[in-house]
Amino acid sequence: MEVNEQENGTPEAILQKGVLTSETDLAEKDDALVHEEEEVKPDYIQFSKKQLAELAKELAKDNNPIKAENVLREIKPYFEDLYEKNKSQALEKFIAEGGLPVDFEFRGDEWDAVFDANAKLIRDRKNQFIRQQEEARNENLKKKEGILEQMRILLDAPGSGNQYDKFQELQKQWKSVGTVSGNHSKTIWANYHALVDRFYDNQSIYFELKELDRKKNLQAKKELITKAKLLAQVESVKEAIKELNELHHEFKHIGPVPKEEKEAIWQEFKKASDSVYERRDSFVKEIQQQLQTNLDAKTKLAESVATYATFSTDRIKEWNTKTTELLELQKQWEKVGSIPRSKAKEVNKKFWSSFKLFFQNKATFFKKLDEERSINLKAKQALLAKAKELVDAEDIDKAIKEVKSLQAMWKETGPVPEKVREKIFKEFKEHCDAVFTKKRGQQSKHAEDQQENFIKKQDICNQLEVYAAEGKANVEDLDKLQESFNAIGFVPRDKVQSIRDRFHQALQTYVNSIPNLGDTERGQLSLKAEFSDVKNDPNADKKLQQKELQIRKKISKAENDVALLRNNLEFFAKSKNAGSLREDVNKQIAKAEAELRELKNQLKLIRSL
């Protein structure tokens, strides 16, 4: 049996003490507690479009569509802000590329489509859920109205022995039916209680049974009171409130108690309930105080982060230092608990907008730095390729000069990306070292070859000197020995002049020891010997030109001397007693002409070299 004994209290008293009087009151009271307790929620302002779209996708799968729609309503402004930002950037780019604003059309990206599709799905599920709930409540209303109608019929029927059992069965059916719409709840409950009271008032035949049943109801309600009192010891206030609401629901559906116990039992249950509500009020107050403390802490952190939004420098180290500082502030922010919901959006926006702006500025700086380093990398890759080519160069001296030039350009080129810096420098150094190593190896081989050449040239000098000393000198061997000497390659630099002087001295000794030679022929051989190795000298052309110029000057002087002497001879021909003078002049002319012939032979010899 069940009656609504709580209705004896006044509505004002019930509302003031937090007593639940109907199904609607139960839902409202529970919602109030949920809203009073601040839940720890993500700071959606720092979410990207992808994260928000994926969150919407997850919400679309949530079994509680009402909750999902509430979260969607909260994150939608953040997503729209990002959408408008992308749209503005796309418009700026479109105009910058020569487009007209009137022709601009923004289609969005894949995350816009994902978010919109799931947002629609969430709303559709919520609307479907609400329709189902409303349909269920309407169906419940029809069922309860049907039960009420059966109660009326039962009450109007003539009394019978099983009327009490039938009425209890109808009460059980009533309890098994769910809630109805709020605008029908109070009316249908009033009708139900009126019929219950009417049934017990009209069934005097079953008075003793009714009194026994009321005593059982009294015992059941006392047990609920005991459970309500134990809730004061439950650590979680939220859990205690939830269990108390269930006890109220059960208390309400227990039938009536003896009239003399009705008010007392209700006051005792109300007193146990009020102690739990007092804990709730105290708990909520503590939460509000903590929320305010957290708000003060986060406001201070947001102000600190705001100074980083305008930071700018061209030094990597300073950017990294500031980044470390800012991330430390982020850790402090994350340690702080929840704040009042009414202030959360404002404070979060202040903190994360400055936070994001710093990293946007940093990203811009490093993007520019990366672009410069990418350019430097291409330049150094070109230098690396040239250095690699020089390893196989045949002209090692030229290669050495080019490598040194490449090294200078490498130093002048700025830094490259960190991930390839060591690798590319190592490759460049290996190629440069390979060129220098090749040069050192070549120099070592040249030194050995030059020392052998020096010994060979010494042997030829010894041979010339021996032939001259033994009287074996002849023109044929002279030519062969000269050709052999000139065919030998370079000698060590510090021995070039000494071996050349010895060779010329040995040649002169050899020429002087050749028998049966006239002075003219011997002079020509000496001159030929003197210039025998000039053509192999690196400066041969220059030395021959200088020698040719000297001979030409001597020829010119000799020709002038002969012309002057001949002119003097004509002058002596007109004077008396000049015979001895003419004879002397003729001798001078003959000597000068012989010298002139010798110089011309020398000139001819030089031209033949």
**525-568 pLDDT per residue, tens:** 777 666 665 655 666 667 667 777 877 888 888 778 878 877 77
CA distance 338 to 298: 10
Q: Which residue has the tokens 């939004």?
A: 309
pLDDT recorded at residue 552: 82
CA distance 599 to 554: 7
Phi, psi of 162 (to 5 degrees): -100, 10
Give the model's confidence band at 194: pLDDT under 50 very low, under 70 low, under 90 confident, else very high: confident
Give the model's confidence band at 146: pLDDT under 50 very low, under 70 low, under 90 confident, else very high: very high
pLDDT digits (tens, 9 = 90+) for 268-305: 888 889 888 888 888 788 788 888 899 899 899 888 98
Taking the CB of residue 277, how many other CB atoms lie within 10 A of it? 18
CA distance 263 to 257: 10
Mean of pLDDT over the chain: 80
CA distance 311 to 358: 7
CB 43 within 8 A of CB 352: yes
Task: List the single range of 115-119, 157-161, 477-481 with lowest mean pLDDT.
Answer: 157-161
- 32 has a pLDDT exceeding 50: no
- 31 has a pLDDT exceeding 70: no
- 197 has a pLDDT exceeding 60: yes
pLDDT recorded at residue 448: 76
3 or 492, greater pLDDT: 492
pLDDT digits (tens, 9 = 90+) for 79-96: 888 888 888 888 888 888
Give the model's confidence band at 321: pLDDT under 50 very low, under 70 low, under 90 confident, else very high: very high
Cα distance from N-terminal residue to C-terminal residue, the chain: 144
Tell me what the mean pLDDT of segment 363-377 comes to. Answer: 86
Dihedral in degrees, nearest 10, Cα atoms 554, 560, 563, 569: -90
CA distance 473 to 450: 28
- 604 has a pLDDT exceeding 80: no
CA distance 593 to 588: 9
Residue 108 gets the label, from left (phi > 0), alpha (psi -120 to 50) or beta, of: left
- 36 has a pLDDT exceeding 60: no
Q: Give the pair of three-digit tokens for residue 363.
A: 């990203």
CB 163 within 8 A of CB 203: yes
CA distance 464 to 472: 9
Task: List the single range of 145-149, 392-396, 542-546, 577-581 with lowest mean pLDDT.
Answer: 577-581
pLDDT recorded at residue 37: 43
pLDDT recorded at residue 12: 30
> Above pLDDT 90, what percent of the chain?
5
Task: List the single range of 119-123, 193-197, 355-359 with lowest mean pLDDT.
Answer: 193-197
CA distance 481 to 461: 9
60 or 559, greater pLDDT: 60
Each as own residue / partner, the long-range contacts of residues 106-111 (CB below 8 Å, 24 or more positions apart, any chain) are 108/83, 109/49, 111/49, 111/50, 111/52, 111/53
3-state secondary structure 422-482: HHHHHHHHHHHHHHHHHHHHHHHHHHHHHHHHHHHHHHHHHHHHHHHHHCCCCHHHHHHHH
pLDDT recorded at residue 253: 83
CA distance 448 to 215: 128
pLDDT digits (tens, 9 = 90+) for 298-312: 899 888 988 988 888
204 or 169, greater pLDDT: 169
Dihedral in degrees, nearest 10, Cα atoms 589, 595, 599, 600: 50
CA distances from 45 to 81, 185, 330 (A): 10, 42, 14
- 16 has a pLDDT exceeding 70: no
CA angle 421, 427, 432 (to 5 degrees): 120
CA distance 482 to 529: 8
pLDDT recorded at residue 118: 92
> Above pLDDT 70, what percent of the chain?
83
pLDDT recorded at residue 327: 92
CA distance 71 to 171: 40
Taking the CB of residue 535, how many other CB atoms lie within 10 A of it? 12
- 5 has a pLDDT exceeding 50: no
152 or 160, greater pLDDT: 152
What is the pTM assigned to this prediction?
A: 0.39
pLDDT recorded at residue 266: 92
Q: Give the pair of three-digit tokens for residue 358.
A: 């710093």
CA distances from 122 to 72, 109, 115, 293 (A): 8, 20, 10, 36
Compute the half-sphere exposure of residue 273: CA atoms within 13 Å on the CB side of its CA: 25
CA distance 66 to 54: 18
- 157 has a pLDDT exceeding 50: yes
Which residue in 165, 151, 246, 240 sits closest to 197, CA to CA?
Answer: 151
Which residue in 127, 129, 92, 90 sits closest to 107, CA to CA?
Answer: 90
- 443 has a pLDDT exceeding 80: no
- 585 has a pLDDT exceeding 70: yes
Which residue in 437, 259, 349, 433 sits closest to 46, CA to CA?
Answer: 349
Give the model's confidence band at 207: pLDDT under 50 very low, under 70 low, under 90 confident, else very high: low
Residues 6+ apart with CB under 8 A from 366: 319
Q: Which residue has the tokens 């937090």?
A: 18
- 524 has a pLDDT exceeding 60: yes
Task: List the single range of 3-7, 211-215, 366-370, 424-428 with lowest mean pLDDT.
Answer: 3-7
Q: Which amino acid is at 358?
A: F
Helices (H), 488-578: 496-512, 519-530, 540-573
Q: Give the pair of three-digit tokens for residue 249.
A: 């629901």
CA distances from 224 to 229, 276, 312, 395 (A): 9, 14, 68, 107
Handedness of CA 509, 513, 517, 518 (dihedral sign): positive
- 22 has a pLDDT exceeding 50: no
- 609 has a pLDDT exceeding 80: no
Q: Which amino acid is at 150?
A: Q
CA distance 282 to 470: 135
